[in-house]
């Protein structure tokens, strides 16, 4: 093989590999459980900042940036206690939901505060390569009364560029109650 042939083969290989985009690692059920545990801990952490507006804002902003996919594109977020403005399409609106702010009806869901958030073990998980959807119930324990509140959820996850799971879909609602 001549030097020209070796050089040509090297250039072709380099070009081929530098132009190739490698797919994200497939999501596993364990990845989803870890993401849910991280989200639950984050809600409790935000609640611990109640009464300190600046810290609450910073903590919630960090949680949203770390756990939600707003920096990667659209997030479909329909929070539990949202009636007039039902959807949170921006980071600013998500922040308002968790700690109050730009949307009038938002009182700061995460500032309840909650002493514990747990995802039920019977939640369903659908995995499709680098995205996953989980649906089930999660339970919020009121830090003051100890009362546990059952809430229904659907979360959609995808791998971010930094290989972490981020939430691109979050729907949450209280169970139907017949009158």
Q: Is the residue at 8 inside a domain?
A: no
Per-residue pLDDT of the chain (179 residues; tens, 9 = 90+): 555 544 344 434 333 333 334 467 899 999 999 999 999 999 999 999 999 889 999 999 999 999 999 999 999 999 998 888 899 999 999 999 999 999 999 898 999 999 999 999 888 999 999 999 999 999 999 999 999 999 999 999 999 988 999 999 999 999 999 98
Rounded to two decimals, the pTM is: 0.84
How confident is the model at residue 165, as a pLDDT?
97
Distance of CA 35 to the CA centre of its chain: 8
Length of the chain: 179
SS3 58: helix
Structure-token pair, residue 171: 């729907």
Q: Which residue has the tokens 């070796």?
A: 6
Separation of alpha carbons 6 and 26, rounded Å: 36
Q: What share of the chain is helix, strand, coil (3-state, %, to 5)?
A: 35, 25, 35
Terminal alpha carbon distance of the chain: 84
Q: Are 97 and 103 in contact (CB under 8 A)?
A: yes
How confident is the model at residue 128, as a pLDDT?
95
How confident is the model at residue 49, as a pLDDT?
95
Q: Is the residue at 94 inside a domain?
A: yes
Separation of alpha carbons 51 and 154, rounded Å: 30
Identify the domain containing residue 91 by its residue range: 26-173
Q: Is the residue at 1 inside a domain?
A: no
Counting the structural domains of the chain, the total is: 1
CATH of residue 54's domain is 3.10.450.50
Q: Is the residue at 15 inside a domain?
A: no
How confident is the model at residue 4, as a pLDDT?
53
Structure-token pair, residue 154: 């659907």
Q: Is the residue at 71 inside a domain?
A: yes
Q: Across 32-122, where does the E strand assignment appear?
A: 76-78, 114-119
Q: Is the residue at 65 inside a domain?
A: yes
Within 10 angstroms of residue 93's Cβ, the number of other Cβ atoms is 20
Q: Are 38 and 52 in contact (CB under 8 A)?
A: no
Alpha carbons within 13 A on the beta-carbon side of 161: 5
Q: Is the residue at 16 inside a domain?
A: no
Q: Is the residue at 13 inside a domain?
A: no
How confident is the model at residue 23, as a pLDDT?
62
């Amino acid at each position: 093989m001549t030097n020209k042939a070796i050089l040509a083969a090297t250039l072709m290989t380099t070009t081929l590999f530098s132009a190739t985009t490698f797919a994200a690692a497939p999501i596993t059920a364990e990845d989803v459980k870890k993401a849910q545990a991280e989200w639950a801990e984050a809600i409790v952490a935000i609640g611990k900042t109640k009464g300190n507006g600046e810290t609450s804002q910073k903590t919630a902003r960090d949680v949203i940036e770390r756990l939600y996919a707003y920096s990667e594109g659209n997030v479909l977020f329909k929070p539990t206690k949202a009636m007039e403005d039902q959807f949170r399409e921006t980071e600013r609106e998500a922040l308002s939901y968790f700690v109050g702010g730009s949307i009038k009806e938002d009182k700061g869901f995460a500032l309840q505060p909650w002493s514990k958030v747990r995802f039920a073990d019977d939640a369903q998980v659908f995995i499709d390569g680098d995205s996953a959807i989980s649906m089930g119930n999660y339970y919020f324990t009121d830090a003051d009364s100890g009362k546990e509140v059952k809430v229904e959820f659907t979360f959609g996850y995808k791998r971010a560029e930094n290989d972490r799971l981020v939430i691109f879909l979050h729907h949450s609602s209280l169970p139907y109650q017949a009158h």
